Amino acid sequence: MDEMIVQINGAVKHPVMIDPGVWIFDERRLDMDTVFDQPESSQKERDFSAMGKAFDEQRMQGAGPQSNQNKVTISKKDLTEKSLGIGLKPFFHNAEPEPDAAYVHLVQDQPEEDIILPLEEAMEGIAAFSHKGSPLKEDGPLHFYYRDGSNRTSPVTRVKGFTLLKEK
């Protein structure tokens, strides 16, 4: 299996396998150089604005046949210069945690210690997947950041998966 694939498994209805390499095309990507400098409300406003814009565009075009016409918009600068991440909440929601899932074990390659977080705290986290335009091959595939940026200078590195647990 490719070492860049990340799994969400454990106490979930649907185990999820993710390739962080495709997140560069995801509209929800975050600029890791500025994400912690913006107030939380700013991120929510940006998400709501994007949803509203998509709704308005669809309404103006009228109902049509369903298709997967993803509009990929990314600049060359994002690809080659930016450090990018993505919020983890949608991926945990897709995995559908079991009702009694309470914790998340951050599965690491060569862990110094086991890191187990409350489910809500892990869901609010941000997964960085590139640094200055390059995938995190040396100490990746992901770096985990707390939403508040408290580990901004020392993220959890070598994260290769998330295992949901019912107890610590």
**In the predicted model, what is the mean pLDDT of residues 77-92?**
86
Q: What is the pLDDT of residues 110-124, one digit of tens each?
A: 878 899 999 999 999
Which CATH fold would you assign to the domain 6-36+74-165? Sulfite Oxidase; Chain A, domain 2 (3.90.420)
Average pLDDT (88-108) is 96
The residue to which tokens 């977080």 are assigned: 117
Q: Is the dihedral of CA 36, 131, 121, 44 positive or negative?
A: positive
Instruction: State yes or no: pLDDT of 53 exceeds 70.
Output: no
CA distance 159 to 24: 18
The SS3 assignment for 10 reads strand
pTM for this model (two decimals): 0.78
Domains of the chain: which residue ranges?
Answer: 6-36+74-165
For residue 8, name the pLDDT band (cuts at 50, 70, 90): very high
- Strand pairing report for 16-18 and 30-31: unpaired
Question: Which is it for strands 6-10 and 156-165: parallel, antiparallel or unpaired?
Answer: parallel
pLDDT band (50, 70, 90) for residue 1: very low
Cβ 164 vs Cβ 9: under 8 Å: yes
Is residue 101 scored above 60 in pLDDT? yes
Give mean pLDDT, residues 133-137.
88
